[in-house]
């Protein structure tokens, strides 16, 4: 009886760990050209959970849902640019690795330049003192 309970417990763990992701989260499209377009787009979109990985590389459920959305829309005939615009409208500019240049995203574009200028200014002062 105890063995039966242990076996039931051990077999229930993998079932509980499965997610309810859409089928297209891990399944490639039948048309290789459409899959190439979808894959290319997925590599340019940031996972909103992981934040450091693209949705193509992330194992998060949210990334899986986003992959499924990309594949569904590409399979229905939408162009990758239209799908990208739709995802940016839905999740915000942060979802893109290359956010558009707007007043709101201007600090994202100017911060690296400002930090580089600051580093050069500090290095210049350091070299002058020597």
What is the mean predicted confidence (pLDDT) over 93-101? 81
Residues 22, 75 share a domain: yes
Residues 85, 39 share a domain: yes
Q: How far is CA 1 from CA 4, 6, 7, 124, in A?
A: 5, 9, 10, 78
- Which pLDDT belongs to residue 35? 92
pLDDT at 77 over 90: yes
Residues 62, 25 share a domain: yes
Residues 74, 30 share a domain: yes
What range defines the domain where residue 108 resides?
101-130
Residues 112, 93 share a domain: no
Residues 56, 10 share a domain: yes
pTM of the entire predicted model: 0.65
Write the pLDDT tens digit of every residue in 14-45.
544 455 667 777 788 889 999 999 999 999 99
- Which pLDDT belongs to residue 16? 44
Write the pLDDT tens digit of every residue in 44-57.
999 988 878 999 98
Cα-based torsion angle of the residue sequence 118, 105, 40, 51 in order, rounded to the nearest 10 degrees = 80
Residues 82, 48 share a domain: yes
Residues 50, 111 share a domain: no
Residues 95, 55 share a domain: yes
Residues 117, 94 share a domain: no
Residues 111, 95 share a domain: no
Q: What domain count does the chain have?
A: 2
């Amino acid at each position: 009886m105890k063995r039966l309970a242990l076996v039931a417990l051990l077999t229930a763990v993998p079932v509980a760990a499965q997610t309810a992701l859409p089928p297209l989260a891990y399944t490639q499209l039948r048309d290789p050209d459409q899959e190439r377009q979808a894959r290319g787009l997925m590599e340019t979109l940031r996972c909103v959970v992981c934040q450091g990985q693209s949705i193509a590389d992330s194992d998060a459920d949210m990334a899986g849902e986003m992959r499924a959305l990309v594949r569904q829309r590409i399979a229905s005939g939408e162009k990758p640019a239209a799908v990208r615009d739709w995802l940016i409208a839905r999740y915000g500019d942060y979802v893109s690795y290359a956010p558009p240049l707007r007043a709101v995203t201007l600090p994202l574009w100017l911060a690296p330049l400002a930090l580089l200028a600051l580093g050069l200014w500090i290095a210049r002062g350091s070299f002058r003192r020597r």
